[in-house]
Amino acid sequence: MITQLFVTPQPMIAPPPMIRMNGIKSVIKKPTNLCILSPSFNILRLIDRNDGADLQSAVVFGLVAVSANRGPSMPKFCANLTWLFTELPFMERFAAAKEAGFDAVEVLFPYDVNAQDIVNTLGRYELQMVLINCPPPNYTGGDQGFAAVPGLEERFRRDFKRALRYAQTLHATHVHIMSGVAEGAAAKATFIDNLRWAAAEAPGQSLTIEPINNETMPGYFLNDFDLGREVVTGINAPNLCLQFDTYHAAKITGDVLGTCDAMRDVTAHMQVAQTPNRDEPDQGEIDYPAFFAALDVSGYTGWVAGEYKPRGETQAGLGWIGSS
């Protein structure tokens, strides 16, 4: 049973004996598992060991928590087939993802494969395509997008139309538009103009932009979450939102929970990986139990994609989903 505790400031009362979990003193009046979220969420999440048992109030640093019971919940997870199941040929990864329990997938650059072949495979395994990247083709060894590159506006618009046709054939939920390597005021103006045009060109297609750290992509224009928010809110198109990647957030801000909370209202899609090695989102620098608990209570209804490099075979490393 999952119980969420919404906390309000109260004077500290004389507590019963304290217990300590995750370095935070807590008072729980019956045995329970406790997950403390970032203070910015102002929420505690308790998972009771005994189904149907009522939880009592908890006091954490002078905050009195009042329980509000609801049913079990967890994020919707999808598999990034560019990163996961790479021990298999590309077209065999869809079956592997379904067998592993996924109902949706994303592919960064699927353009080398006939779109109808992917559609048929998605249908065969009852999978949803959540996201593809724009522009085609794969940027390996070439441009990392060019939506923010002055002078390439015509190329961007031509390749966006191609990506849009492909996305529509796959019924992809989101198209991620990559900014490319650029800097300065002219790049910002180009980025905004191109995104405004794309949002109007494809009003029925969800578009995302993703802040990417400069260690992974040196010189990438959209390397800051505040800039991403500024661009999205400035254009104010209903089909343009932010794509939030926990790995990049950790590299850019060092505060994944706080940044996610600050960007929640403009975020349509999420991707997860652990730092520092970009592997399974389990043990490491990012507190994933707290992160997934935060999504449980935040109202986020989008997909969360595993976009990471497995330490071994993909299937062997999927335990993080069951523990989320």
> Quick one: 80 exposed, middle or buried, by C-beta within 10 A (0-12, 13-18, 19+)?
buried
Structure tokens at 231: 């661009």
| Residue that the structure tokens 């505690």 belong to | 44
Annotation says 153 is catalytic? no
285 noted as active-site residue? no
Peptide bond into 9 cis (omega under 30): no
- The number of residues in the chain equals 324
| Active-site pick, 210, 215, 230, 280 | 210
Q: Tell me the two tokens of residue 313.
A: 């075979």
**CA dist list (Å): 89 to 85, 96, 204, 308:** 8, 11, 32, 18
Beta strand spans in 169-315 (E): 174-177, 206-209, 240-245, 267-272, 303-306
d(Cα 116, Cα 136) in Å, to the nearest integer? 17
Among candidate residues 87, 230, 307, 313, the one labeled active-site is 307
Query: Which string of DSSP letters, residue by residue, matches 11-69?
Result: -----SS-EEETTEEEEESS--EEEEPPGGG-EEEEE-SSTTPPP--EEETTEEEEEEE
Is-contact 96 315, C-beta < 8 A? Answer: yes
CA geometry: angle 243, 245, 246, nearest 5 deg: 145
Residues tagged active-site: 210, 307
